[in-house]
């Protein structure tokens, strides 16, 4: 299992770009509540959804501190050079508040309906690897750029614009071969709780770590992002990430200390954002810090946290 992270924990919101929702206000609330990240889901083929990149730019313009990313960008409908230019522009204009979540593609019927290619698993992974090469090339300060791959090609006399900071690329993938690729070339992994529950998380972490180590990279350099697809309410537990705040505090602390997760994106209903940001997040920060100190204290280890009676164990 991945060793417990010593990174400062980050917390954010995964926002569905429902065009009928008060998207600007939600983004401002996430910023005002002190969250670190705003992830915007990118599924342009769904009816009545706002464009993810346009929403990101708007969110950056009306906030002051929160970082914004596509979580995750739909590569088959986002040519990598154009995606790189858009994100670099947003990063430069916002003073370095952009990251990139990138996926190989899913919901292929929708992708194809919107004019994108339908790719099999191996082809989608190769397309993703090529896209990362183009994006990083575009963000470089080199001249005379040229790339010719199986799925993407790119040529430009000059790169740019250059981002204000080194934008991280986090892969939103779940399959074993895609995790191998993430360990080799990405800066982190975005794992959705619906597809990667705690029982699968340890295996995914090991796969990611092994691939990174084989490539001569330190696994500790990779950020571990967990998408919390659940519901916070006052009723009794209805399973993992479906229950009262104290259950969420327990389960998220276990994910951070026991599973090495260092970043959380809340994917529940925006109406639950105040409880998540103002009640759950501070308690998880405090509890995780306490348990980390206990782990560092010596062989006796920490005084373990006790799960509430209705909490579903996170591992």
Residue 301 has pLDDT above 80, yes or no: no
Task: Determine the average pLDDT of the residues in 162-173.
Answer: 97
Average pLDDT in the chain? 91
Specify if 289 maps to a domain.
Answer: yes
- Using CA atoms, how far apart are residues 268 and 235, in angstroms rounded to an integer? 16
Provide the pLDDT confidence category of residue 298 given band limits of 50, 70 and 90: low
Specify if 113 maps to a domain.
Answer: yes
Give how far Cα 87 sits from Cα of 37, 60, 91, 169, 300, Å.
15, 11, 6, 11, 47
Residue 302 has pLDDT above 60, yes or no: no
Q: Quick one: pLDDT at residue 143?
A: 75
For residue 75, the Cα-to-chain-centroid distance in whole angstroms is: 15
Specify if 31 maps to a domain.
Answer: yes
CATH of residue 183's domain is 3.20.20.30
Per-residue pLDDT of 21-64, as tens digits, reads 999 999 999 999 999 999 999 999 999 999 999 999 999 999 99
Task: Determine the average pLDDT of the residues in 5-33.
Answer: 94
Task: Determine the average pLDDT of the residues in 286-295.
Answer: 91
Provide the pLDDT confidence category of residue 242 given band limits of 50, 70 and 90: very high
Q: 121-138 vs 80-94: helix axis angle to the nearest 10?
A: 40
Q: Quick one: pLDDT at residue 312?
A: 42
Least confident of 14-18, 115-119, 270-274, 278-282: 115-119
Residue 305 has pLDDT above 60, yes or no: no
Q: By residue range, what is the domain housing residue 213?
A: 10-297
Q: Quick one: pLDDT at residue 307?
A: 47
Specify if 315 maps to a domain.
Answer: no
Task: Calculate what percentage of the chain has a pLDDT beyond 90.
Answer: 81
Whole-prediction pTM: 0.91
- Using CA atoms, how far apart are residues 168 and 273, in angstroms rounded to an integer? 25
Per-residue pLDDT of 99-124, as tens digits, reads 999 999 888 899 999 999 999 989 99
Residue 273 has pLDDT above 90, yes or no: yes
Least confident of 172-176, 288-292, 300-304: 300-304
Specify if 303 maps to a domain.
Answer: no
Q: Which of 138-142, 208-212, 236-240, 304-308 has the highest mean pLDDT?
A: 208-212
Task: Determine the average pLDDT of the residues in 202-230.
Answer: 97
Residue 3 has pLDDT above 80, yes or no: no
Q: Which residue has the higher pLDDT, 281 or 308?
A: 281
Residue 7 has pLDDT above 50, yes or no: yes
Task: Determine the average pLDDT of the residues in 219-248.
Answer: 95
- Using CA atoms, how far apart are residues 2 and 261, in angstroms rounded to an integer? 9
Specify if 14 maps to a domain.
Answer: yes
Specify if 310 maps to a domain.
Answer: no
Specify if 282 maps to a domain.
Answer: yes
Task: Calculate what percentage of the chain has a pLDDT beyond 70.
Answer: 92
Residue 313 has pLDDT above 70, yes or no: no
Task: Determine the average pLDDT of the residues in 252-277.
Answer: 97
3-state secondary structure the chain: CCCCCCCCCEEEEEECCECCCCHHHHHHHHHHCCCCEEEECCCCCCCCECCHHHHHHHHHHHCCCCEEEECCEEHHHCCHHHHHHHHHHHHHHHCCCECEEEECCCCHHHHHHCCCCCCCHHHHHHHHHHHHHHHHHHCCCCEEEEEECCCCEEEEEECCCCCCCCCCEEECCCCHHHHHHHHHHCCEEEEECCCCCHHHHHHHHHHHHHHHHHCCCCHHHCEEEEEECCEECCCCCCCCCEECHHHHHHHHHHHHHHHCCCEEEECCCHHHHHHHHHHHHHHHHHHHHHHHHHHHHCCCCCCCCCCCCCCCCCC
Q: Quick one: pLDDT at residue 130?
A: 97
Q: Which residue has the higher pLDDT, 141 or 58?
A: 58
Contact predicate 289/34, CB 8 Å: no
Task: Determine the average pLDDT of the residues in 204-230.
Answer: 97
Q: Which residue has the tokens 């009640």?
A: 279
Q: Count the alpha carbons within 13 Å of 78 in the hemisphere toward its beta carbon.
A: 30
Count of domains for the chain: 1
């Amino acid at each position: 299992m991945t060793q417990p992270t010593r990174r400062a924990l980050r917390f954010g919101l995964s926002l569905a770009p429902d065009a009928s929702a008060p998207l600007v206000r939600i983004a401002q609330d996430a910023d005002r509540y002190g969250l670190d990240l705003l992830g915007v889901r990118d599924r342009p083929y769904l009816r009545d959804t706002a464009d993810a990149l346009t929403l990101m730019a708007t969110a950056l313009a009306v906030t002051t501190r929160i970082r914004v990313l596509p979580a995750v960008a739909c590569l088959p409908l986002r040519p990598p050079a154009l995606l790189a230019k858009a994100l670099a522009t947003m990063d430069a204009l916002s003073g370095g508040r952009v990251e990139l979540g990138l996926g190989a593609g899913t919901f292929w019927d929708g992708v194809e309906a919107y004019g994108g290619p339908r790719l099999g698993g191996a082809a989608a992974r190769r397309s993703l690897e090529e896209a990362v090469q183009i994006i990083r090339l575009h963000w470089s300060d080199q001249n005379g750029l040229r790339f010719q791959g199986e799925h993407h090609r790119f040529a430009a006399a000059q790169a740019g614009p250059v981002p204000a900071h080194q934008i991280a690329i986090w892969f939103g993938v779940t399959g074993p071969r895609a995790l191998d690729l993430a360990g080799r070339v990405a800066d982190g992994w975005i794992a959705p709780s619906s597809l990667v529950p705690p029982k699968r998380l340890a295996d995914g972490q090991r796969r990611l770590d092994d691939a990174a180590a084989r490539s001569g990279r330190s696994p500790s350099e990779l950020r571990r992002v967990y998408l919390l697809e659940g519901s916070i309410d006052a009723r009794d537990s209805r399973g993992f990430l479906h229950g009262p705040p104290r259950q969420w505090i327990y389960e998220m602390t276990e994910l951070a200390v026991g599973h090495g997760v260092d970043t959380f994106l809340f994917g529940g209903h925006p109406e639950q954002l105040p409880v998540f940001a103002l009640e759950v997040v501070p308690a998880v920060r405090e509890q995780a810090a306490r348990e980390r100190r206990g782990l560092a204290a010596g062989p006796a280890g920490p005084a373990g946290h006790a799960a509430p009676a209705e909490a579903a164990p996170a591992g």
